[in-house]
């Protein structure tokens, strides 16, 4: 009996491909395919190569697994096997642990805008619980897998490794390329493929030393990984941030897995894309052409992650110095359109960011640009480095114009968007702005709420895309038909900063907006509706959530905060009607809050220009200022002449200037 037991144990030990949590058997064809993909002449692969050449793929896989567990010459920016010790026995943040534990039960976290979805005991990867395209796409990014890896490191419990491997194999089995056009659209969209390429490097590091990570699973993992990289290298997105994400991630793939014969192809293809696209997608002023602040930050990180991957593998010379210079310029552009609390406007599908995450970004960036004093200042929260000598600053190509009287938390800052149509994430909102005073954004952008999906989802999205929910001028409350603002004038001085642009918003109506920052204290906005169009012309304003007081008699709206920090918006012009509007703001996906909103309207009945003059005046709590505005005899914006008398609490100021090209 004992002899039979010993024999059975010997047989089991001799079958490495039957051990562990995996149910799927890997065929000889699978094994041969993997070793055909590898450069077995690389140092360290001699043993695996010799066995594979003899057709002994089982033991070749054993040798290959040993190689990867001992390998020290490849790394990526996120994790290394040494990090396991820092997590061992440590409690994970609640959200991370929850994602891991619910993921074990097939309750998957697929998107920040939703709760967990149940995908069933037998996982249904085609389940679409909410007809939001992002839910379907991002399911295939498996955001709960990395938390499972961290939970494995933290607890040492093999249940996380076993379940991850079972889910990994289940996904491969149920989502083959070509299963259906519908499934390919979501599971094999190039962006999702690239996301898996990047995240699975972290997972490889997290689970490689698990006893359940068998030679059989290694073969399956590496074949699947190479399939992804080979597919992506021939199916990049045509343009935009997707192409940049995909290129950076395939560079990581080529740098982390140089053992693949196609690794050089993957890496060089990604580098070629980034070297080309950084010239196409980044304007001379440093703005990324989608003109979305969130994506602008993401693309800075994409460019620098790619650079970092090549630095770690001794290949950084494949990026020219101009690549680094442009990325540095992007960081400077960001710093210029950010507020002193590191936050920036939610233009073009952006979401609210927080200071701590932006400080972390600057801390990473200063490592690449240690001599940049402004980046150094922002990375150290002002403890080191220096701010620039200038205040207000124009990004003229992309059309982000920043008025500011300082860089600290007591400052007043306005960021206005008036430029070309931003690609992909653009909204019809030329002229909109955020006004930030002493730590409060009084006029936050509406945000976007949701991205894409069926008719019910698109109805939600389209509300936030309306021109009339932005701080700009509309005709009959219709969306602008063209967003391509042309800068007419920009000049700064100690007493007056001036911006003027024009946008042919509708076929027969051009919007001219002139912004005056007076004594670095308050703003005057002059809006002109020029052309033959007739109808209801309105200028729209939306405030931060909270109480507000609307005064139709004085055509004004003001905030009503009790912390000595308020804003009065008052419009002047003939026969202006004050109308309350539906106001909402979305700081994050699928979250929205009500807020005050108003439109000041005039009827345009002929070819004459319809004009508004609006004062935006920050003030403390208590009684709002009494303001009047009159145009002088020489006022003529068609000739570039400004002649205004503004009286604030009986203090009179005469603004006279000539706008010249």
- Please identify which residue in the block is written with the tokens 């400004």: 642
Instruction: Kindly name the residue from 295, 342, 464, 522 that is annotated as catalytic.
Output: 295
Locate 203 and state its tokens.
């997972």
- Please identify which residue in the block is written with the tokens 């960001």: 334
Alpha helices in 234-368 (DSSP H): 240-256, 263-281, 293-312, 321-336, 355-368
Give the number of C-alpha atoms closer than 13 A to the C-alpha of residue 472, restricted to the C-beta side.
Answer: 35
CA nearest 294: which of 581, 589, 37? 589
- Mapping DSSP onto H, E and C, the string for 543-588 reads CCCCCEEEECCCCEEEECCCCCCEEEEEEECCCCEEEECCCEEEEE
Measured distance CA(417)–CA(349) in Å, rounded: 14
Dihedral sign (CA 467, 469, 474, 477): positive
Measured distance CA(199)–CA(176) in Å, rounded: 19
In the DSSP assignment, the letter for residue 400 is: E
The verdict on whether 119 is a catalytic residue reads no
Residue 187 φ then ψ, to 5°: -75, -30
Measured distance CA(626)–CA(649) in Å, rounded: 5
CB of 109 within 8 A of CB of 143?
Answer: yes
Mode of pairing for the β-strands spanning 400-404 and 412-417: antiparallel
- Please identify which residue in the block is written with the tokens 């094999």: 188
Measured distance CA(261)–CA(267) in Å, rounded: 11
Dihedral sign (CA 22, 24, 25, 26): negative
Measured distance CA(470)–CA(30) in Å, rounded: 56
Locate 327 and state its tokens.
């990325």
Instruction: Report how far Cα 272 is from the mean position of its chain's Cα atoms.
Output: 23
CA nearest 600: which of 611, 587, 589? 611
CB of 210 within 8 A of CB of 161?
Answer: yes
Q: How does DSSP assign 586-620, residue by residue? A: EEETTEEEE--EEEEEEEE-SSSPEEEEEEEEEE-
Measured distance CA(183)–CA(163) in Å, rounded: 24
Q: Which residues are catalytic?
A: 295
């Amino acid at each position: 009996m004992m002899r039979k037991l010993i024999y059975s144990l010997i047989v089991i030990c001799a079958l490495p491909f039957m051990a562990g949590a995996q149910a799927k058997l890997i065929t000889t064809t699978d094994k041969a395919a993997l070793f055909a993909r590898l450069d077995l002449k690389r140092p360290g692969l001699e043993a695996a190569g010799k066995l594979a050449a003899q057709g002994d793929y089982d033991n070749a896989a054993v040798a290959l697994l040993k190689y990867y567990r001992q390998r020290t010459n490849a790394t990526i920016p996120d994790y290394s096997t040494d990090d396991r010790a820092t997590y061992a026995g440590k409690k994970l943040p609640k959200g991370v642990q929850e994602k891991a534990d619910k993921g074990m039960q097939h309750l998957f976290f697929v998107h920040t805008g939703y709760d967990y979805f149940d995908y069933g005991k037998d996982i249904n990867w085609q389940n679409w619980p909410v007809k939001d395209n992002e839910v379907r796409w991002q399911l295939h990014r498996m955001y709960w897998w990395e938390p499972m890896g961290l939970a494995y490191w933290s607890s040492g419990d093999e249940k996380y490794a076993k379940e991850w491997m079972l889910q990994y194999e289940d996904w491969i089995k149920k989502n083959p390329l070509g299963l259906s056009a519908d499934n390919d659209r979501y599971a094999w969209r190039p962006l999702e493929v690239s996301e898996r390429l990047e995240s699975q490097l972290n997972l490889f590091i997290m689970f490689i030393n698990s006893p359940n990570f068998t030679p059989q699973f290694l073969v399956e993992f590496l074949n699947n990984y190479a399939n992804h990289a080979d597919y992506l290298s021939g199916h990049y997105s045509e343009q935009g941030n997707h192409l940049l994400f995909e290129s950076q991630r395939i560079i990581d793939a080529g740098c982390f897995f140089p053992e693949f014969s196609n690794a050089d192809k993957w890496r060089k293809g990604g580098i070629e894309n980034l070297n080309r696209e950084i010239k196409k997608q980044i304007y001379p002023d440093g703005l990324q052409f989608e003109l979305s602040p969130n994506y602008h930050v993401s693309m800075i990180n994409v460019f620098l992650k790619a650079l970092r991957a090549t630095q770690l593998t001794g290949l950084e010379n494949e990026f020219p110095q101009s690549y680094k210079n442009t990325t540095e310029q992007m960081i400077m552009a960001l710093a210029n359109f950010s507020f002193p609390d590191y936050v920036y406007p939610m233009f073009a599908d952006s979401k609210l960011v927080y200071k701590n995450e932006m400080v972390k970004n600057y801390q990473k960036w200063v490592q690449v640009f240690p001599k940049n004093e402004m980046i150094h200042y922002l990375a150290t929260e002002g403890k080191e480095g220096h701010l620039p000598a200038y205040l207000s600053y124009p990004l003229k190509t992309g059309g982000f114009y920043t008025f500011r009287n300082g860089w600290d938390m007591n400052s007043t800052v306005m960021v206005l968007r008036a430029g070309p149509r931003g690609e992909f994430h653009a909204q019809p909102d030329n002229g909109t702005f955020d006004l930030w005073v002493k730590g409060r954004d009084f006029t936050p952008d509406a945000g976007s709420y949701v991205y894409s999906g069926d008719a019910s989802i698109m109805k939600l999205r389209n509300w936030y895309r309306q021109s009339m929910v932005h701080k700009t001028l509309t005709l009959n409350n219709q969306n602008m038909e063209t967003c391509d603002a042309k800068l007419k004038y920009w000049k700064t001085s100690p007493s007056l900063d001036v911006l003027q642009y024009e946008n042919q918003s509708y076929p027969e109506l051009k919007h001219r907006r002139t912004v005056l920052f007076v004594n670095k204290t308050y703003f005057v906005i002059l809006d002109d509706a020029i052309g033959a169009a007739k109808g209801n012309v309105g200028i729209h304003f939306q405030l931060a959530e909270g109480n507000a007081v609307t005064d139709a008699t004085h055509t004004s709206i003001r905030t009503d905060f009790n912390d000595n920090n308020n804003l009065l918006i008052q419009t002047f012009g003939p026969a202006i009607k004050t109308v309350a509007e539906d106001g909402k703001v979305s700081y994050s996906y699928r979250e929205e809050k009500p807020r005050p909103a108003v439109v000041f309207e005039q009827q345009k009945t002929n070819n004459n220009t319809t004009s508004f003059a609006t004062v935006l005046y920050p003030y403390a709590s208590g009684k709002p200022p009494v303001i009047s505005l009159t145009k002088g005899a020489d006022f003529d914006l068609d000739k570039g002449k400004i002649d205004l008398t503004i009286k604030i609490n009986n203090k009179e100021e005469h603004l006279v200037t000539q706008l010249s090209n």
